[in-house]
Every structure is written in C-alpha cells, then in structure tokens.
Structure 1
C-alpha cells in the first residue's frame, strides 16, 4: 500500500471507530457507516468499507455480526476500539487530532 493510500486507510479506520464510539451502544450497520464516511470525506465502495471492517475485526477493535445472508453487517466497537477512537495509539489507525 502506498504512503497516501495507507494514510487514507488509517483515517477511514479512525473515522469508523469514532462513529461507533459516538453511538449509544457502540453499534452501527454498514449502510450507516458508509454514509457517515462519505459525509466525512471518505466516499468509498461497500467492498472497501467491509475490508476495513474485517481489518478492524482482526485487530479486535470491533466485532461484526453478519446478518441476512451477509446483506447487512453490524459493527460494534470493543473496549479497545473505543480507547483507540479516543486517542490510544494503534498501528494502522490514525491518531485523532487534538481538539
């Protein structure tokens, strides 16, 4: 992955974690996540979003429930994922900018 592509992937992953952390139960489906990413400057395909979700799941930062024969994915931030969304460093995820 090129330097710029890696930066984009890291920022997308942070954006996903921050979106999940803002939800009352830390869970959002992939359709809502795709719209949230687009509003925040990452208009990506569903395949790319799901690749990021798989990566975050492999890192144990989220869990993913696959429903309706894989038609809907519901991502839920783990405790570690919420911590990373709040600024704890994790390789492959951008750090939030200071507010």
Structure 2
C-alpha cells in the first residue's frame, strides 16, 4: 500500500468533514458556501473551486448528490454517505470516521 500524499490526505479528511456536516442537517443538505465555511472551521482554508472539486469527487463515490441552484451547488448526502459516517460501511477515498468516545 503506497502512502498518501499530504494533498490526498487533506482531501480525504475534507470529504469526511463535508459528509459529517451534511449528516447533521435535518434534510441532509447544505450549499457549497456553507460547506466552505464549515471546512474553514476545521482548518481547511480552501477556495470555493477546491470545495466544488471535493463535492464532485463525493458524487463520483456515491456519497452525495448535487443539485445546481443558479451558480451554487447544493449537496445532499446519500444512504451510502450516511453509512460511511455511521461506520457501517467504508467508502474508499474518504477518511474513516473515528470511533465515538
């Protein structure tokens, strides 16, 4: 198994932060502006384009769906995304959640 680059490790962690943020919402949805602010809270100070790239990767992995509202992406967590956050399955390409204390 080859070690991950720092950039890939960072991206996988950010994808987990996004999924956890979506899972906490009543309807499982957030727009990219709110997700960018959430990521900054966890030390991921990245551009909106970078956040969009992560959302598109999460979509590719089946963890979210994306709806466009004008020029803004709205991400919705899928069952597979919820299962990953709840540790009942694993999606490669997303950091694994830590066990709850």
TM-score, length-scaled by structure 1: 0.92
RMSD: 1.0
Moved over 6 A (4+): none
Which structure 2 residue ranges, 5 or more long, are not aligned? Answer: none
Q: CA deviation at 1:40?
A: 1.0
* Alpha-carbon distance between aligned partners in 1 of 2:14 and 2:96, rounded to the nearest angstrom: 11
Trace 1:11-90 onto structure 2 (pairs within 5 A). 11-68=13-70, 71-87=71-87, 88-90=89-91
Paired residue total: 96
**2:30 aligned counterpart, secondary structure:** strand
Cα deviations across residues 42-94 of structure 1 (Å, max 9, x unaligned)? Answer: 111000000000011111110000111xx111100001011112223211100
Which structure 1 residue ranges, 5 or more long, are not aligned? Answer: none
Partner residue of 2:10? 8
* Alpha-carbon distance between aligned partners in 2 of 1:59 and 1:97, rounded to the nearest angstrom: 20
- Contact residue 31 and residue 75 of structure 2 kept, 8 A: yes
Of structures 1 and 2, the one with the larger relative CO (CA 8 A, separation 6+) is: 1
Partner residue of 2:97? 96
